[in-house]
Structure 1
Amino acid sequence: MTFQTLLYETGNRTATITLNRPDHFNAIESAMPREIRTAVEMAEADPDVHVIVLKGAGPGFCGGYDLKHYAERKGEIAGSQDMPWDPTLDFTMMWRNTQDFMALWRASKPTIARVHGAAVAGGSDIALCCDFLIMAEDARIGYPPSRVWGVPTPAMWVYRLGPQMAKRMMMTGDLIDGTEAAAIGLALKAVPAADLDDAVEHLAGRLRGVPRNQLMMTKMVVNQAYDNMGLNNTQMFATLFDGVSRHTPEGIWFRERAQEVGFKQAVAERDSGAPIASQVSKRLRPEG
């Protein structure tokens, strides 16, 4: 099969999926979620594949959705409607993407995210839907749009980190490096960038020596525990709130500000520590 946004290859009982938009930092575009799911389904159907490795081409794993493109464009776009807005449209779009990413989690075969450069915003969503993260020590991961204009729809932070650290990551939008990610249990291991392929291969080698049926049974036991903790319901809330976040007064302010001064400057103001709410209230305050 020919893919638009990724490469797929198999060998040595391993399927390798490579996000392949390096000139755009492997940014997520409309075809990518569907193609990830299709590639996972191909690996699932292949009796010779025991392990799935997901990585990014070029300088990083995935820069997430192209928020600069969306924020700076004028008029109604996917994910940012004119007011009044229909929340079901946002939910339908992002719920499908979330379920496509979750194909990595729900696959019967183990999935490994090989993270170099950055796995940011939607890129972190994709990485965290994998069973294992192996990161370069200098790689970065986080969800900056959770400060304004986004909620991570797979909501995997809480299931991987527990409430306190998940709140830190989701409320601050901090980016952390691979060393810290490994220290808090988000990544299985962090290694120097030069050793990243060897570390991924070592884990893949340990997994592909296990019978496929055994891998399936043990993975299902763990995943069932998370299903019992309400993973699907949590993702429904997160996906709904993701759409809401782009249509709050602050979300509308952020997009208007990006159109006025550019995305980079709007992000700088968002992250400056200044109270966005006060800026919004001034804009919305009735005259007189």
Structure 2
Amino acid sequence: MTAAAHLREGAGDPPAAVRRNLTHARTVLTRAAHHTQGLLAKLPGPAERSVEQREAAAAATDAARTLRAVFMDTHADAVYDELTENRSRCLSLAELAEAAASAFPGLVPTADQLKAERSVVQADKEGLEIDQGIFFSRLLRSPTAGRHLIESLLRPTPRALALLAEFRATGSADLGSVRIERTDGVAHLTMCRDDCLNAEDNRQIDDMETAVDLALLDPEVEVCLLRGGVMTHPRYRGRRVFSAGINLKSLHAGEISLVDFLLRRELGYIHKIVRGIRSQDGDDWRTPVTEKPWVAVVDTFAIGGGAQLLLVFDHVVAASDAYFSLPAAKEGIIPGAAALRLVRAAGTRLSRQVILEGRRIWAAEPEARLLVDEVHETEDLDHAVERSLERFRAPAVVPNRRMLHLAEESVDDFRCYMAEFAHQQSLRLYSADVLDKVGRFSAVR
């Protein structure tokens, strides 16, 4: 019998079997996953499979994912409690995924499996990150596990804690793709990927979260400012650029990960800008988070993820020749939490035009005032920024911004959105249209 025939025949237990007690369900899931993995290993890589082999592989993979989804629908809280020792440990997304791969074999890919996947371009992958999408979507759907996970991800990262003493002493840190400098109570965060117009990849996500943590942890910082640095890119040499969004070269090369980029970005540094950073001591009767006001300055453009960022800032100052766009639908992916926040800021009609049709909004247009607070000529930006920073030093700004965020977007609203985002974004990464774009992009490189 051919490998394709074996795959069609399948050997997994029906979904009802994983609805039983956790011990039995774990065994059933592991056995089914190992069977499917073994049979897939006998086939050529995804790009070289025949039509019959692709259909058989899809059928077997779908069956295995159905089991995983039913397993998590039934046991999400029990799984999370086991991984976090009854919610006494706060794990990062990557740590949680790694722990799940060890404790529940076959539920999510192992580190070695992901390493092998990352060694090939996007079109040649099996799509193992979809299993991570299923896992995290079900955790986030749970009011118990999901709430704890979101709060855990507001903790400072180990990297930031290790750098904090030096940053407090010197007032500066060069993190690679982001620089942070403290001057007169202002934390100046500068995105400095001058070679790629501040396009985000896994590396920049880590650097940004570290910088946000340092700004929030340093008691001398009163207000935070984010701006793009001066570019060396030939087309924009000598000009400041805010952000070109996701790094498409990295996406097409298969180097943008679901966990370390797409989920960590939203649940990590962006959510910390919104909610603040949680203290290590959760028993303090005082407010358990440290928040600060955030101001953004947009030079040239804020594309994709750059435009998404503006939706969480307290104040946005833009150059008169800047523009904003969210071309995620054209790229084939979902623009983070923009659908949640842009509708609130700009209304449904304009949001559909921007997200679904790719409309570009120029700072000089009246509609831009739904996205930015001030528009100035480039030569006047610095003075306008200084004035806004001074206004946000007022002591009552922080508690009032907290109440505004609670009114605009509850933690549970965000949690439910991110649950669906985790699932849908993982599917988009391996959808036929995205893989087709990947193939055409690779062909012309």
TM-score of the superposition, structure 1-length normalised? 0.77
Partner in structure 2 of residue 266 of structure 1: none
Tell me which of 183, 201, 209 is aligned to 1:37.
209
Higher relative contact order (CA 8 A, sep 6+): 1
Query: Aligned partner of 1:114: which letter?
Result: V
CA distance in 2, matches of 1:33, 1:126: 12
CA distance in 1, matches of 2:251, 2:322: 25
Displacement, 1:70? Answer: 3.0
In our comparison, the structure showing a higher alpha carbon Rg is 2
Partner in structure 2 of residue 219 of structure 1: 401
Gapped regions of structure 1 (runs ≥ 5) = 80-88, 263-288
CA shift in 2, pair 1:92/1:161, >3 Å: same
CA contact (8 A) 2:362 2:368 kept: no
CA distance in 1, matches of 2:435, 2:383: 45
Tell me which of 1, 15, 18 is aligned to 2:190.
18
CA distance in 1, matches of 2:386, 2:418: 31
CA contact (8 A) 1:152 1:242 kept: no
Gapped regions of structure 2 (runs ≥ 5) = 1-172, 231-238, 277-290
Tell me which of 96, 112, 115 is aligned to 2:264.
96
CA distance in 2, matches of 1:240, 1:191: 40
Query: Aligned partner of 1:26: which letter?
Result: N
Tell me which of 346, 364, 386 is aligned to 1:201.
386
RMSD over aligned Cα atoms: 2.2
Give the 5 Å matches for 1:117-132: 117-132=300-315
CA distance in 1, matches of 2:270, 2:304: 13
Percent identity of the aligned residues? 23
CA shift in 2, pair 1:68/1:93, >3 Å: closer
CA contact (8 A) 2:315 2:372 kept: yes
Displacement, 1:52? Answer: 0.4
Give the 5 Å matches for 1:1-288: 1-58=173-230, 59=239, 60-71=241-252, 73=253, 77-79=254-256, 90=258, 93-99=261-267, 100-107=269-276, 108-155=291-338, 156-180=341-365, 183-208=368-393, 210-211=394-395, 214-228=396-410, 230-261=413-444
Query: Deviations along 1:116-169, whole A, 9 cap, x unmatched?
Result: 011111222233332222111111211112224211112232232222221111
Partner in structure 2 of residue 265 of structure 1: none
CA contact (8 A) 2:202 2:261 kept: no
SS in 2 for 1:112: strand
Higher helix residue share: 2
SS in 2 for 1:113: strand
CA distance in 1, matches of 2:366, 2:329: 18
CA contact (8 A) 2:361 2:368 kept: no
Stretch of structure 1 that moved more, 99-108 or 166-175: 99-108
CA contact (8 A) 1:105 1:131 kept: no
Query: Aligned partner of 2:409: which letter?
Result: D
CA contact (8 A) 2:201 2:250 kept: no
SS in 2 for 1:26: coil
SS in 2 for 1:102: helix
Partner in structure 1 of residue 157 of structure 2: none
